[in-house]
Amino acid sequence: MRRSELARRAAAATNGSAVTLEMVAKEAGVSPSTVSRILNGTARVREAKVRAVEAAIAKLQFMPNPVARSLAGGKSMSVGVVTQAIDSPFYGVSLAGIEKGLLQAGYSPLFVSGHWREGDERRCVDHLLSRRVEGIILMTSRLPDQELINLARSVPLVVTGRRVDGDRIYCVDVDCTIGARLATDYLIGQGHRRIAFIAGPQDHPDAMQRMDGYKAALAAGKIPFTTKLVAAGDYLETGGLAAINTLLDSGVRFTAVFAANDQSAYGAMLALHRRGLKVPQAVSVVGFDDLPASAFMIPPLTSVHRSIDEIGEGAAEAMIDLIARRTPHVRIATTTLAIRESTRPLRS
Amino acid sequence: MRRSELARRAAAATNGSAVTLEMVAKEAGVSPSTVSRILNGTARVREAKVRAVEAAIAKLQFMPNPVARSLAGGKSMSVGVVTQAIDSPFYGVSLAGIEKGLLQAGYSPLFVSGHWREGDERRCVDHLLSRRVEGIILMTSRLPDQELINLARSVPLVVTGRRVDGDRIYCVDVDCTIGARLATDYLIGQGHRRIAFIAGPQDHPDAMQRMDGYKAALAAGKIPFTTKLVAAGDYLETGGLAAINTLLDSGVRFTAVFAANDQSAYGAMLALHRRGLKVPQAVSVVGFDDLPASAFMIPPLTSVHRSIDEIGEGAAEAMIDLIARRTPHVRIATTTLAIRESTRPLRS
DNA sequence: GAACGCTTTGAAAGCGCTTGCAGAAACTAG
DNA sequence: CTAGTTTCTGCAAGCGCTTTCAAAGCGTTC
């Protein structure tokens, strides 16, 4: 044994259990191969030996070393997850779903944040690749389609919040157009005709869909669309706040606001409050995402609900399928409208 | 070569780059050992060879395989992070800090959630251990002290939100007592004397400290403490909501509420709103944590601020130190009070 | 120019597990 | 009881990198 005893000690201390498969084999009086086979169910093994090995494992408290396993087997049992902001409430919920789905299948998630910056995201992906993840889940990625398609040649990809076609790429996506349509339709149904829209980041498909849904509902309601009622936003509270201020300052009149996401809606409500406009008496507000906090806003926010955690879980499952070279079964989480107290019928 | 070409292909496809250190060595005309040494700066190497190897690395686009590295070197370059709920706004922010701190040092975080359940947490820790993490960061752990002390024999531990003494255990902790004191003092300073307190989970040190601070401030202000003004909570919005209802139903009068955390405060504000009590006109409300969303509540919430992300970053740095067998340098994030619009002086 | 003390480098032995191959064992037929 | 199968099981060769040991290279010094 070349490795000094000291190093060995350190290693043992580090991983808690220095019990190796070999020791189990010796203890059970079989060869390491047999132990491995029992562990992985790779081959039939005589009942008696199975029992002996199991006893040895229990006695020694053996835990297979995943690192060695990865190296030998070529699989790391981990998948990378790129979010934009791990601290955003929206992503938080999805991540919880992903964690659950992945862990169930024995995979571990490796979370990294792209901070909405293409460069950061690229760096994250490289980092994940270097860690030899078996697949990558990209939440609302900002990388160009072609780059994703190339990337998919290295590892299978699950993409949420947008649509990319390619081999080994699967999109878990709720069409936001429908949700946006739902929200706007509801507002129109309540008698509103001057409905402002706080947009999301302009360049994102996901945000564009919400705009599309808004427009579609307007068209269906025979209400002309006007850019005067649209304010830029960034999916953050501050953006929503600024948007309302801009809108109000511009002098347009509106009786309802549809915000591209809940966080924008929060900001919008605060801005309205500051300007002395009551929600929903003076202005109705609808959000999108139905974050857990939305039910506790004052007033509780009406919002487009899509089970974000299910999206996460779905993404995880799809990834497992992709890794196993199965075709993921499409799962559609339906979008509904959670009607609360931030909206009310327009008195005519 | 026994391994079938097919398997080799698959591996190559999986990790994107099948370039190995050996190939680099051959390309550069040196031995693998030399390449390794250059990579790790483990020994002096002739300038000319360094250049040749660097060229080869660039040409082949070599990326060292961390799995092999881990196995050979006995270190996994990853640390486990146990949170209670990855989707909680509070943890989200800390995690972002941890991610940043760890990545900077070349370590990867492995996030898992304990869901506030001791059993789940134990399972998480086992999972992390089996993944051979080099250290574990425990956020508001629920495991008994003794268990943590034992655990620390396997891997170094950084614990937040509580205090545990032991070898290889480091606590990154902001004393919540001070913050709670700050908040309550402020309320008292504003003329409030009937100050209700919405507690956190009873059994948690962190929550107990907040209660202590509240009591201490009361004592300092010569205001008798009464359990009538204390309502149970659970750090969640629903708990805060229920707490206010209980308080109101019990008939006690109060002009201010100090909630053990912001989420409870949100619930409290909603309950107050529902009962027709205006914040801050009828009741002042103060929270704790100063979550990003708090500045956008209606009205914006006065809250005890401690930079949660710094706590995360601090935890990460402490962990790096611990792993390197250095003594972490204590870093104290000071607690301040973010005064907003949910509080006002009591008119006398 | 031989002897000596450094520094640089390579060979080779692992790290702990998986797996192809082939021999051993256990059955089934004949 | 032997030949022919069909299961089991062990051997040994890796997976890609680190690290120890010892040999090789170099520059000095007397």
Check CB contact under 8 Å for A111 and B113: no
Q: Do B129 and A95 touch (CB under 8 A)?
A: no
Question: Can you say whether the dihedral through the CA atoms of A316, A321, A325, A329 is positive or negative?
Answer: negative
What pLDDT is recorded for position A7? 41
Q: Between residues A219 and A6, which one has the greater pLDDT?
A: A219
Could you tell me which of B258, B339, B347, B251 has the C-alpha nearest to residue B294?
B339
Angle between helices B21-28 and B47-60 (to 10 degrees): 120
- The answer to whether the beta carbons of residues B59 and B66 sit under 8 Å apart is no
Q: Which of B155, B270, B293 sits opposite A14 (nearest CB)?
A: B155
The answer, yes or no, to whether the previous bond of A280 is cis (omega within 30 of 0) is: yes
Q: Give dist(CA B14, CA B11) in Å, integer.
A: 5
**Most distant pair of Cα atoms in chain A: their distance:** 89
CA–CA separation, A88 vs A92, rounded Å?
Answer: 6
Q: Which residues of B touch A75 (CB under 8 A)?
A: 14
Chain C: nucleotides below 7 Å from protein CB are 7-21
Query: For B322, which residue in chain A has the nearest alpha carbon?
Result: A14
Contact between the CB of B32 and strand D at under 7 Å: yes
* CB-neighbour burial class of residue A283 (10 A; exposed 0-12, middle 13-18, buried 19+): buried
Q: In angstroms, how far is C19 C1' from B297 CA?
A: 61
Determine phi and psi for B183, rounding to 5 degrees: -65, -50
Output phi, psi for A82, to 5 deg.
-100, 120
**Of residues A201, A171, A162, A195, the one with CA closest to residue A181:** A195
Is beta strand A336-338 parallel, antiparallel or unpaired with respect to A302-305?
Answer: antiparallel
B22 token code pair:
């050996």
Which pLDDT score is estimated for B17? Answer: 58
Chain B residues inside the 8 Å CB shell of A108: 110, 127, 131
- Let me know: does B268 contact B241? Beta carbons within 8 Å: yes
> Mind listing the pLDDT tens digit for each residue in A73-92?
888 889 999 999 998 989 99
Distance A82 CA to C2 C1' (A): 66
pLDDT of residue A309: 87
pLDDT, averaged across chain A = 91
Tens-place pLDDT, residues A21-77: 999 999 999 999 999 999 999 999 999 999 999 999 999 999 899 899 999 988 888
- Given this model, what pLDDT does residue B125 score? 92
Nearest to B268 by CA among B204, B317, B198: B198
Q: What is the pLDDT of residues B28-73, one digit of tens each?
A: 999 999 999 999 999 999 999 999 999 999 999 998 998 999 999 8
Q: Is B151 helix (H, G, I), strand (E, B) or coil?
A: helix
Element (H, E) at B217: helix B205-220
Nucleotide nearest to A62 (CA to C1'): C16
User: d(Cα B130, Cα A1) in Å, to the nearest integer?
Assistant: 25
Hey, is B207 helix, strand or coil? helix
Question: Among residues B268, B317, B269, B266, which one has the least CA distance to residue B294?
Answer: B266
Is the distance between the Cβ of A130 and the closest atom of strand D smaller than 7 Å? Answer: no
* CA separation, residue A160 to residues A215, A308, A347 (Å): 23, 11, 40
Please tell me the distance from the alpha carbon of residue B274 to that of residue B68, in angstroms, as a whole number. 60
Residue B168's φ and ψ, nearest 5 degrees, are 60, 25
Contacts of B203 (CB under 8 A, 6+ apart): B142
- Calculate the alpha carbon distances from B181 to A293, B218, B255 in Å: 27, 9, 18
Residue by residue, DSSP assigns B230-247 as EE---SSHHHHHHHHHHH
Mutate which of B4, B8, B15 to test chain A, going by most A C-beta atoms within 10 A?
B15
Are the CB atoms for B231 and B264 separated by under 8 Å? no
Whether A70 sits inside 8 A of B67 (CB atoms) is yes
Secondary structure element (H or E) that encloses residue B82, with its range: strand B78-83
B110 near B321, Cβ under 8 Å?
no
The residue with tokens 């087997």 is: A73
Q: State how far the Cα of A198 lies from the Cα of A260, in Å rounded to an integer.
A: 6
Chain centre to alpha carbon of residue B100: 12
Chains A, B: CB contacts under 8 A, how many?
Answer: 159
**Separation between the CA of A79 and the C1’ of C18 (whole angstroms):** 21
Give the pLDDT score at A12: 40
Give the Cβ contact number of residue A219 at 10 Å: 11
Q: What is the DSSP letter of B248?
A: H
Residue whose pair of structure tokens reads 């008994």 in the numeric block: B144
Residues B83 and B115: their CA atoms lie apart, in Å, by 8
Nearest to A104 by CA among A296, A316, A345, A347: A316
The token pair at A242 is 């600024």
The pLDDT value recorded for residue A17 is 58
Please check whether residue A287 is in contact with residue A257, taking contact to mean a CB–CB distance below 8 angstroms.
no
- Look at residue A348 in the predicted model and tell me its pLDDT: 60
Contact of B339 with B321, CB cutoff 8 Å = no
Distance CA B95, CA A303 (A): 27
| Closest chain B residue to the Cα of A124, Cα to Cα | B103
* pLDDT tens readout for residues A109-124: 999 999 989 999 999 9
H/E element, A159 = strand A157-160
| Amino acid at site A140 | T
Find, among A37, A38, A90, A70, the residue nearest to A291 by Cα: A90
In A 10-49, which Cβ lie closer than 7 Å to strand D? Answer: 30-34, 37, 43-46, 48-49
pLDDT one digit per residue (tens) for chain B, 348 residues: 333 433 443 344 344 458 999 999 999 999 999 999 999 999 999 999 999 999 999 999 998 998 999 999 888 889 999 999 998 989 999 999 999 999 888 899 999 999 989 999 999 998 888 888 999 999 999 999 999 999 998 899 999 988 899 999 999 988 899 999 999 999 999 999 999 999 999 888 889 999 999 999 999 999 999 999 999 999 999 999 999 999 999 999 999 999 999 999 999 999 999 999 999 999 999 999 999 999 999 999 999 998 888 899 999 999 999 998 889 986 777 899 999 999 999 976
Residue A18: per-residue pLDDT = 80
**B chain contacts of residue A89, beta-carbon cutoff 8 Å:** 87, 89, 92, 293
Contact B127 A110 (CB under 8 A): no
| Angstrom distance, B1 CA to C18 C1' | 14
CA dist., res. B196 & res. B271, Å (int)? 14
State the pLDDT confidence band at A9, using cuts at 50, 70 and 90: very low
Nearest CA in chain A to B325: A10
Give the residues across from A285 on adjacent strands.
A257
Rg (CA), chain B: 26
Q: What are the tokens at A200?
A: 């999301």
